Amino acid sequence: MPRGEPGEGHRRSGEASSPGPRSLSLVIPARNRARLIEPCLESLLRAVEPLARMGVKAEIVVANDASTDETPQVVERVAESASVPVRCVTLSTRQGPGRARNAAIEAATGELIVFVDSDVIVEEDFLEAHVAAHRASGSQVFTVGKLISVPSLEAAQARTEATVWDFSSATLDTANAAVRKEHLEAVGAFDKGFEGMGWQDIDLGRRLKRHGLTRVAVPEAVGYHIQPLIQTQEQLVARMNKERERGVSAVYFMAKYPGLSARLAAQDTALHRALNWIFRMGGLVREDNVLSWVERARKRGRVALEKMWLAGVINQAYLESLAATRRAARSDGSHRELRG
């Protein structure tokens, strides 16, 4: 299903350059990422190397969101031999990615905050591209790079080409973005009112634009977002639970921004519900049988059908959660203070 909201074009060439940031902090929220956090950090450390000739210092700050696996130990091991400081800020209880990023931002010392997710592998010129865009575009911008979804670490390392399915019009995607710390502090960073997953980055993007910043797309800053193929019922349930969290957050997001624009971004329209019904073939494709449908599509090489059926079932969990949360909010008066 479509996601996000309209952006504002690509980096402009030929503009007067500015000195730009002289230091940056990579901010990475992580929860139970012991398997992927090491290759993520290794790719970032390779991307740090070109910064020396640009006169830019770097550090990495990982926000450990109460992981129950070996994530913090892996970070510590990488830090021992890293070419730049790698620090781990640990939260005692799960806070969600937005609040985890806030903790890392508070601890960060760099002028520029570069956001990367713990399941993203970046190319060697990733940081160079973000810094160059800030220098070329001035201080009143935030930059958003290109994300390419891949099914595995091996596919990320092979530098898989982008497809039509990688298109996103989100104002800000904090899996690959860069914002000056002073601007984040001026707008209050991530809104702590969001619970769990979803909408914190788009909300922040809106507030940054209201603060007077311009969104600059940097397609040269490429990150590969590892999203394993859903092959088991356990994987499907985990993904649907994330979408249910997004549904809860969507109600809070729309309460902050009443109007059609937010409803379109949150897919809260009759059109989106109709599209979801079509994606699920009128209810023929369901949670209990979608993996069978997907397996048939994969065997026949029907990628579009595979993605459509999965998206329909997963998106249905989001839409149902959104509707249930809104009904509960109306009955108990939640979010009233935002509307007022």
pLDDT surpassing 90 at residue 5? no
- The 10s digit of each residue's pLDDT in 9-40 is 454 443 445 678 999 999 999 999 999 999 99
**Number of CB atoms found within 10 A of residue 307's CB:** 15
User: Is residue 319 a contact partner of residue 251, using CB atoms and an 8 Å limit?
Assistant: no
Q: Where are the domains of the chain?
A: 23-226, 233-339
Q: What is the average pLDDT across 225-237?
A: 95
Q: What is the average pLDDT across 54-67?
A: 97
Of 213, 86, 48, 53, the closest CA to residue 139 belongs to 213
Q: What is the average pLDDT across 58-67?
A: 97
- Look at residue 167 in the predicted model and tell me its pLDDT: 84
Lookup result for tokens 């999203």: 227
pLDDT band at residue 195 using 50, 70 and 90 as cut-offs: confident
Cα–Cα dist 46/44, whole Å = 5
Q: How far is CA 313 from CA 162, 265, 301, 321, in A?
A: 24, 19, 20, 13
Q: Enter the pTM of the model.
A: 0.89
Q: Name the residue type at position 240.
A: M
Cα–Cα dist 32/30, whole Å = 7
- The 10s digit of each residue's pLDDT in 258-274 is 999 999 999 999 999 99
Percent of the chain predicted with pLDDT > 90? 86
Cα–Cα dist 47/180, whole Å = 19
CATH superfamily of this structure's domain 23-226: Spore Coat Polysaccharide Biosynthesis Protein SpsA; Chain A (3.90.550.10)
- Look at residue 1 in the predicted model and tell me its pLDDT: 42
User: Is residue 208 a contact partner of residue 178, using CB atoms and an 8 Å limit?
Assistant: no
β-pairing, 112-116 with 120-122?
unpaired
Cα–Cα dist 165/181, whole Å = 32
Cα–Cα dist 119/56, whole Å = 25
- Look at residue 164 in the predicted model and tell me its pLDDT: 83
Task: Please report how the helices 233-256 and 303-332 are oriented relative to each other, as an axis angle in degrees rounded to 10.
Answer: 50
Helix intervals (H) in 59-199: 71-81, 97-107, 126-137, 153-157, 181-187
Cα–Cα dist 279/262, whole Å = 23
Is residue 188 classed exposed, middle or buried when 0-12, 13-18 and 19+ CB atoms within 10 A define those classes? exposed
Maximal CA-CA distance, the chain: 59
- Look at residue 8 in the predicted model and tell me its pLDDT: 53
β-pairing, 141-150 with 112-116?
unpaired
Cα–Cα dist 42/157, whole Å = 12
Radius of gyration for the alpha carbons in the chain, expressed in angstroms and rounded: 20
Q: How far is CA 73 from CA 37, 44, 64, 77, in A?
A: 10, 18, 10, 6
- The 10s digit of each residue's pLDDT in 85-130 is 999 999 999 999 999 999 999 999 999 999 999 999 999 999 999 9
For the sheet with 176-180, list strands across it.
Answer: 86-91, 57-65, 23-30, 112-116, 176-180, 141-150, 214-226, 120-122
**Number of CB atoms found within 10 A of residue 270's CB:** 7
Instruction: Enumerate the β-bridge partners of residue 23.
Output: 57
pLDDT surpassing 70 at residue 6? no
Q: Which residues contact 301 (CB under 8 A, 6 or more apart)?
A: none
- Look at residue 16 in the predicted model and tell me its pLDDT: 44
User: Is residue 170 a contact partner of residue 4, using CB atoms and an 8 Å limit?
Assistant: yes
User: Is residue 243 a contact partner of residue 320, using CB atoms and an 8 Å limit?
Assistant: no
- Look at residue 168 in the predicted model and tell me its pLDDT: 83
Q: What is the average pLDDT across 192-199?
A: 89
